[in-house]
């Protein structure tokens, strides 16, 4: 059975994918998805995405053992344990911990995907694993797939689009899939971008902002393709690794 690969370009249109009943892969390369993937790979028990700083603070009041992480304008909010740099989420800091995470766009993409049967977290760091897990679920349950790029404040994001193209590439290789026009376009962009992935991503608008506030290492880290073999799943408001999910 052929699986269709759709593309939605911002958090706000995630409900379309939910209505289609698709397996959703939520992509926010800089940096929410990359941070979640890194935190869980380094042993965090769970990441709980919330939309506001206040919501994060209230959650910790009720659960003092939680770590608070996130960003506003790229920087750590006052009183938080960590910002939104994946490099901060070391094994020493996160192993065995639950982390409340609030970011501008990525957490919104996850929250807007609620109601979908399966929501995976994807980035360059786990492109292949996210693609394979999405395909496995889609085949097993007779569903299509939506690649959901988070965007930045409702705007097109270069790095998320190219990452959708990288995941589409894995889906093309691994299964009997048809790419929608949007997924095809992202894949074409990825074909050019992969020749110099870091250089291409560095020219993106949000990457340039991150470099300006001193976070160029984050851009480099998040540009690594298939560094981790994990497929985080978002369910009931919490992201966990697949193998700990069931």
Given 131, 134, 135, 158, the residue binding a copy of itself (CB under 8 A): 158
Distances in Å between the Cα of 54 and the Cα atoms of 10, 40, 170 are 24, 24, 38
- Supply 230's token pair: 């994990």
Nearer to a copy of itself, 49 or 159 (CB): 159
What whole-number distance in Å separates Cα of residue 123 and Cα of residue 178? 21
Q: Does 232 help bind a copy of itself (rule: CB under 8 A)? A: no
Site membership for a copy of itself, residue 41 (CB under 8 A): no
Would you count residue 180 as binding a copy of itself (CB under 8 A)? yes
Query: Contact, 175 vs 39, CB < 8 A?
Result: no
One of 157, 197, 215, 218 touching a copy of itself (CB under 8 A) = 157
Q: Kindly tell me which of 133 and 206 has the beta carbon lying closer to a copy of itself.
A: 206
Indicate which single residue of 19, 54, 153, 203 sits in contact with a copy of itself (rule: CB under 8 A). 203
- Of the candidate spans 21-29, 93-101, 156-164, 167-175, the one that interacts with a copy of itself by CB under 8 A turns out to be 156-164
| Rounded distance between C-alpha atoms, residue 30 and residue 84, angstroms | 9
Residues 3-22 close enough to bind a copy of itself by CB under 8 A: 7, 9
**Phi, psi angle pair for 58, to nearest 5°:** -65, -40
Q: Which of the stretches 68-76, 137-145, 155-163, 235-243 binds a copy of itself when contact is defined by CB under 8 A? A: 155-163
> Rule CB under 8 A: is residue 184 a binding residue for a copy of itself?
yes
Shortest Cβ 244–a copy of itself spacing (Å): 35
Indicate whether 205 belongs to the interface with a copy of itself (CB under 8 A): yes
DSSP states of 131-192 as a string? HHHHHHHHHHHT--EEEEE--BTTB--HHHHHHHHHHHHHHHHHS-EEE-HHHHHHHHHHHH
For residues 71 and 53, the answer to whether their CB atoms sit within 8 Å is: no
Report the DSSP pairing between strands 119-122 and 232-235.
antiparallel
Query: What are the residues binding a copy of itself (CB under 8 A)?
Result: 7, 9, 155-158, 161-162, 180-182, 184-186, 188-193, 200, 203-206
């Amino acid at each position: 059975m052929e699986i269709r690969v759709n593309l939605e370009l911002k958090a706000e249109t995630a409900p379309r994918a939910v209505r289609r009943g698709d397996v959703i892969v939520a992509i926010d390369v800089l940096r929410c998805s990359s941070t979640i993937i890194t935190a869980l790979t380094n042993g965090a028990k769970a990441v709980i995405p919330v939309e506001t700083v206040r919501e994060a603070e209230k959650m910790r009041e009720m659960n003092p053992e939680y770590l608070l992480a996130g960003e506003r304008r790229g920087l750590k909010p006052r009183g938080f344990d960590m910002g939104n740099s994946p490099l901060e989420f070391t094994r020493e800091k996160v192993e065995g911990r639950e982390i409340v995470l609030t970011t501008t766009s990525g957490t919104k993409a996850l929250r807007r995907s609620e109601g979908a049967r399966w929501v995976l977290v994807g980035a360059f760091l786990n492109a292949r694993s996210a693609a394979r897990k999405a395909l496995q679920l889609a085949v097993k349950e007779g569903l299509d797939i939506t690649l959901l790029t988070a965007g930045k404040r409702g705007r097109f994001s270069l790095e998320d689009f190219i990452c959708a193209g990288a995941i589409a590439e894995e889906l093309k290789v691994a299964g009997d899939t048809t790419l929608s026009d949007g997924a095809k376009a992202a894949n074409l962009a990825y074909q050019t971008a992969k020749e110099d992935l870091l250089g291409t991503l560095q020219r993106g608008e949000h990457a340039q902002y991150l470099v300006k506030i001193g976070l160029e290492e984050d851009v480099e880290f998040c540009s690594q393709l298939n560094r981790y073999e994990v497929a985080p799943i978002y369910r009931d408001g919490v992201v966990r690794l697949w193998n700990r999910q069931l």
